[in-house]
Chain A
Amino acid sequence: MATSVFHQPPGTAQPHQHFQNSGFRHEFGHASVKLTFKGFKVETGLSRRGGYSSCKRKFGVIQASASHTSVVQPVSYPPNNSTDELRKKSSEAALILIRHGESLWNEKNLFTGCVDVPLTKKGVEEAIEAGKRISNIPVDMIYTSALIRAQMTAMLAMTQHRRKKVPIILHNESEQAREWSQIFSEDTKKQSIPVVTAWQLNERMYGELQGLNKQETADRFGKEKVHEWRRSYDIPPPNGESLEMCAERAVAYFKDHIEPQLLSGKNVMIAAHGNSLRSIIMYLDKLTSQEVINLELSTGIPMLYIFKGGKFIRRGSPAGPTEAGVYAYTRSLALYRQKLDDMLH
């Protein structure tokens, strides 16, 4: 078997040894506990962000499992700043972008924008297919827009994921919503993938074109105007957003909320829309406004980026499970896949 196992008695701190095997951190979050015993895994993710403030307890867990599971040989060390910096440099995180599939208005050829229209049967299938393609890529957090077609795409895709962690949608709309959605088991939290919904990832708002079909719009506004709104970078339809305006709020959200997660080594999936994802890709790939206008994202086909050393490395689309291909985009991802294979057989 490929993985090396550290046989250290529990409680021993081995900070320097850990860094040589930074690849694993990527499945297991911050804690540098690595358990590669065949068929058994203890998940320790220390999340400094977000709602799960259970760091101290997680160490308790590690020690507890060490004492009664002789199969597990944990390597642990107390977290401190210097290790964080070193970790940052060698850490790597996966970023998956998925554009939702066919919606009921796509099928009718109506301008949708921010109207909350659900998926068609075909859109449902596309989401499931997308899920199969990413079933071996680690996901620690999910971000979606506030629209059901993106949320459903994410949830449908995750039913195919091999890791079997459970996405949990976070609710922040009121004090009661927060209280009512609390989870009271640490084990369960560890097996959860937080899902954050954000309007900033919504599709570009199409103003007075929302709900119109192409004929109606051409009749009402004239063919050229419509073409301009659809294809320019900075000309918005009446009461709507230009691609530029959409990019502003989508990329700002990405930088403020998502990039820090990637920096801390979390693997993130974003399920959103054509224009909000193009905007983000414009930022990731440093495209010009001319280039982004010509960028078309396939629906339901996930795109993978590796975030490493502060840079986004484009890795195209993960192959479906039945397709031959160089699966492993990075060594860490190859090891992750292998662990899944071991776990499930």
Chain B
Amino acid sequence: MAAGALHRSIRTIQLHGGSNDSASTKEFGNSSLKFISKGFAVDVKFLSNRSRSFSHCKMHVIRAISSHASVVDPIWSTSHVTTNFNQNTSIESSLILIRHGESMWNEKNLFTGSVDVPLTKRGIEEAIEAGERISSIPVNMIYTSALIRAQMTAMLAMTQHRQKKIPIIMHDESIQAKEWSQIFSEETIQQSIPVITAWQLNERMYGKLQGLNKEETVVKYGKEKVHEWRRSFDSPPPNGESLEMCSQRAVAYFKENIEPQLQNGRNIMVAAHGNSLRSIIMYLEKLTSLEVTNLELSTGVPLLYIYKHGEFLKRGSPVGPTEYGVYAYTRNLALYRQKLDEMVQ
């Protein structure tokens, strides 16, 4: 029954690889298997990019699972799945952007930039709140900057997530780091959300202003200069980055690493900083440099975008669990939420 269909589906994957597009891939990544059996979801992921060479392992996993998972009822038959392969239909993925909350230098009113300062109690609460707001939106991968305040924001937010998958931070700073962080259970890998840290998502580097308070800086450099560095697009502080320079490396990273994941139907969360996120939003919404300098992102309030047909649709901020609102931004998200509700009962 189910196992048979699974076997056929598996062979389909092996033949057609990962690069496909059908509605079913939204939660489950590349593979075109969808199991919406009540209460049980088999997650099949091929991480085709970069560091995770899990693809071979995953093949074995699928076979292993098919042999003992009799609870799974595939809703789509394999024939349905194969015909969808060549249609660029409704692949859709969600993109969540979260700006971290209050850091200890925010509290003291010091220019932070790329100095690695942690969150305050308030920043911690903001992260947890943000997590509550996105607790019903699927997340397959997480990207953060190299700074602890963004990483903590992501990890704290995910403690609130209903799906119960576990973020695992990827380490490839050395061969030993890679070896030492290996996981040896396929089931566990499937229940994992890879977390990638990237300096390209760091806050704009503020050069010689880092650590100074606003008065000190004005005294040292003059009010106008400081205002210019803070609010212009292309004027960097001494030894620092302009917003333009920050955008360059942040958007390049987004296009090369994150967008392909979205194209493959993966749902992504990016936890980063005011300027790196503004830069990305400038790209997503095609803003001018003037518009972006006037864009302010609230801290700790997640922003949702739906990626569909190669375009980014802005969906504002997911409502908190106690707030009224039209929850479902798309049909797929509504179905996902429903599955979560069923799983929990």
Binding site for B on A (CB under 8 A): 104-105, 108, 110, 113-121, 124, 146-148, 151-152, 155-156, 158-159, 166-171, 173, 176-177, 180-185, 188-189, 195, 199, 202, 205, 208-213, 216
Q: Which of B86-94, B104-112, B295-303 contacts A (4 or more CB under 8 A)?
A: B104-112
Interface readout for B184-207 with A: 1 if CB under 8 Å, 0 if not? 110011000001000100100100
- Tell me, in angstroms, the Cα distance from A110 to B192 when the chains sit together: 13
Given the contacts A119-B159, A155-B119, A202-B180, A185 and B104 also touching, CB distance less than 8 Å: no
A124: B residues at CB distance < 8 A = 124, 156, 159
Q: How many Å from the CB of B64 to the closest CB on chain A?
A: 12
**Do the beta carbons of B116 and A166 come within 8 Å of each other?**
no
Q: How many Å from the CB of B123 to the closest CB on chain A?
A: 9
Could you name 11 residue pairs across A and B whose Cβ atoms are closer than 8 Å?
A116-B181, A117-B166, A118-B167, A152-B152, A155-B118, A167-B117, A181-B114, A185-B110, A188-B212, A199-B180, A202-B180
**Do the beta carbons of B115 and A168 come within 8 Å of each other?**
yes
B199: A residues at CB distance < 8 A = 176-177, 180
Other-chain residue from A104, A158, A166, A169 in contact with B166 (beta carbon distance below 8 A):
A104
B155 interface residue (CB < 8 Å to A): yes
> With A118-B166, A169-B118, A185-B213 given, can you name 14 additional A-B contacts, CB distance below 8 Å?
A114-B180, A148-B151, A166-B105, A168-B116, A180-B113, A181-B114, A185-B211, A189-B211, A210-B182, A210-B184, A211-B184, A211-B188, A212-B184, A213-B185
Other-chain residue from B116, B208, B213 in contact with A171 (beta carbon distance below 8 A):
B116
**Do the beta carbons of A169 and B148 come within 8 Å of each other?**
yes
Q: How many Å from the CB of B249 to the closest CB on chain A?
A: 11
B14 interface residue (CB < 8 Å to A): no
B83 interface residue (CB < 8 Å to A): no
A184: B residues at CB distance < 8 A = 208-212
Q: How many Å from the CB of A72 to the closest CB on chain B?
A: 20
Other-chain residue from A146, A176, A195, A210 in contact with B183 (beta carbon distance below 8 A):
A210
Nearest 5 interchain pairs by C-beta: A211-B183, A183-B211, A169-B116, A116-B169, A211-B188
- Tell me, in angstroms, the Cα distance from A148 to B210 when the chains sit together: 25
Q: How many Å from the CB of A120 to the closest CB on chain B?
A: 6
- Tell me, in angstroms, the Cα distance from A273 to B210 when the chains sit together: 33
B224 interface residue (CB < 8 Å to A): no
Interface readout for B157-180 with A: 1 if CB under 8 Å, 0 if not? 011000000111111010011001
Q: How many Å from the CB of A116 to the closest CB on chain B?
A: 4
A185: B residues at CB distance < 8 A = 110, 211-213, 216
**Do the beta carbons of B182 and A199 come within 8 Å of each other?**
no
B146 interface residue (CB < 8 Å to A): yes
B315 interface residue (CB < 8 Å to A): no
Chain B, residue nearest A183 (CB): B211
**Do the beta carbons of A115 and B177 come within 8 Å of each other?**
no
Given the contacts A114-B180, A184-B212, A148 and B169 also touching, CB distance less than 8 Å: yes
B120 interface residue (CB < 8 Å to A): yes
Given the contacts A114-B181, A199-B176, A211-B185, A155 and B152 also touching, CB distance less than 8 Å: yes
